[in-house]
Structure 1
Amino acid sequence: MNILVLMLIILFNRINIVYGADINWVEVSRTPAGIQYLDRDSIDIEEKGIIELTTKYIKIDSITSKEIEENIYIMKINCMTKKFKDISVNGKKNLSANWEDPNGDKLLDDVISDSCENV
């Protein structure tokens, strides 16, 4: 009887295992303010010149140089206009996202250039 109970516990515990998608984080850019990563395996061509991808931004404390915040973004990028919009931040959908210019933000410029390079 004990063996049967043990086998059932093992079987039911294995059902709860979640198999997540592999994430291929690649550092794209770094400044004293933060580090920008791109999940290369997440790049999806939506339509001509528009891609969707997942990025990770780690904010760095400029005084201590320690990581103080991490955010995951799902972005759309228009490779023709070099504009972007964040459609999700940390799993929360942004239904009012508008196309934005990176305005010289090195981290955003580098993500746009890197991800549009092979589209």
Structure 2
Amino acid sequence: MFKINQKIKKNKFDFLLNILVLIFVILFNRTNIVYGAITNWVEVSQTPAGVQYLDKDSINIEEKGIIEITTKYIKIDSSNSKEIEENIFIMKINCMTNKFKDISVNGKKNLSAKWEDPNGDKLLDDVISDSCENV
């Protein structure tokens, strides 16, 4: 009889210990916190179609005249001026030729990126001139 009472008490203790551990896991679970790089977004240019930002702290000189930067483009619905879409780009810019290539879009590497001319795109022209200003 004494052994049965001890076994019941041990089972109750184990049950309470499991509940306590579960409560601690739920209360102190921090998986919802996202740790990321600090960005210094600066608006570079705006058109009715969208807004272009540049992370001033991301400018990295790769080689003579070529830099790598992070930009953000927010596409805007021109009929109601609401944000439609946001994209983050990592770009290489050749400051000597004013050409660029997007080597990453929203975290996905673009291994087939080729140097492109901005073709009069105001947002791209402004990003290139703003980024190359101090190179």
Picking from 84, 89, 108, the partner of 2:100 is 84
* 1:21-70 C-alpha deviation (Å, 9 max, x unpaired): 11101000000010000001111000000000100000111111111011
If asked which structure has higher relative contact order (CA below 8 Å, sep 6+), I would say 1
Task: Please name the residue that 1:19 is paired with.
Answer: 35
Q: Where does residue 109 of structure 1 map in the other structure?
A: 125
Question: RMSD over aligned Cα, in angstroms?
Answer: 2.3
Report SS of the residue matched to 1:77.
strand
Distance 1:16 1:56 in 2: 24
Alignment TM-score, normalising by the size of structure 2: 0.78
What is the alpha-carbon distance in structure 2 between the residues aligned to residue 104 and residue 19 of structure 1? 37
Query: Among the aligned pairs, what percent are the same residue?
Result: 86
- Uncovered stretches (5+) of structure 2, i.e. residues with no partner: 1-16
Q: Aligned partners of 1:16, 1:65: CA distance in 2, in Å?
A: 31
Deviation at 1:19, TM superposition (A): 3.2
Higher-helix-fraction structure: 2
1:40 and 2:59 matched: no
Unaligned 5+ runs, structure 1: none
Say which SS state the counterpart of residue 39 (structure 2) adopts.
coil
Q: Which has the larger radius of gyration?
A: 2
Give the structure-1-normalised TM-score.
Answer: 0.87
